[in-house]
Amino acid sequence: MNFGEVGEMLRRGTVAISGHGRAGQGSGIVWEAGGLIVTNAHVVAGAANTVTMWDGRKFAARVLTRDARRDLALLEVNASALPMIPRGRDGSPRAGELVIAVGNPLGFAGALSTGVVHAVGPVPGLGPREWVQADVRLAPGNSGGPLADAEGRLAGINTMVIAPGRRALGLSIPAAAVEQFLRHGPDQRSLGVTVRAVRGGLLLLEVEPGRPADRASLLAGDLILSAAAARMRTPGDLSVALDQAAGTLEIEFLRGGASPRRVTVAFPPARASAA
């Protein structure tokens, strides 16, 4: 296929996702032709979501599973024979490799951007997880869309933009991490929260009902000061604390103008999975 054909194939396998309540506008990829869609968890923060296909068809989407920590979600729509984005890359993209990002930034359907991979690995302040770091142009609405190689094979899920210097870099969740999420489900060592770094700690923006943080009575608006006695300055600090946690995690937090409180968050036991 030539570049134009690759771009058209990627556009057909990319969907627009709109939601209600706190959910915003984003993108997703067709994972299975029978109606499975993968996107970022922050794109589907609300319960009601609508998926729009490349040809304008709209479908109500049901959230099958959501992992706020890994920022991934799996949706289902009542459709069949949907165009898929090819998978099957052998490993993550390498530095210097050409990649293509597709999404729906700022309401522009099927926008395409090309760039070069700078690195694959952890990003300071975001914890130990790996990211595909590329100089593709991303904007609000690109989240959840595909990052593909020059042959159109999925390399990652576009998630956010950072600006370590004068030039912004797009961060994408590697395709291998998406596969792991779909095989094993949400990370059991997850609080089920959305956080933002502020002066003094991590502000809880959202607490998912029924998840460990909710069961420990943490609320949106609480300020996490420390976890496992380690000060919380970035979301990466919390990710490290969760990675090191066994069955529980002690959290110190502030609520309103009261004195700091402590709570122990308990995680469900790890689920066995087939090799």
Task: Indicate which residues carry an active-site annotation.
Answer: 42, 71, 143
Pairing mode, strands 72-77 and 36-39: antiparallel
**Pair 195, 203: CB distance under 8 Å:** yes
What does 77-88 look like in DSSP terms, one character per residue?
Answer: ES--SPPPPP--
Q: How far apart are alpha carbons 19 and 17 in whole angstroms?
A: 7
Residues forming beta bridges with residue 231, ordered by sequence position: 226
Greatest distance between any 2 Cα atoms in the chain: 63
Nearest of 103, 170, 99 to residue 137 by alpha carbon: 170
- Closest CA relative to residue 123, chosen from 110, 114, 135, 132: 132
* Residue 167 in tokens: 């030039």
Residues contacting 17, CB < 8 A, separation 6+: 25, 26, 27, 28, 37, 39, 43, 44, 49, 50, 51, 52, 61, 75, 144
Identify the bridge partners of residue 116 per DSSP, sorted by sequence position: 98
Residues 99, 147 contacting (CB under 8 angstroms): yes
Helix (H, G, I), strand (E, B) or coil at 4: helix
Coil, strand or helix: which one is 238?
Answer: helix
Q: How far apart are CA 197 and CA 184, in angstroms?
A: 29
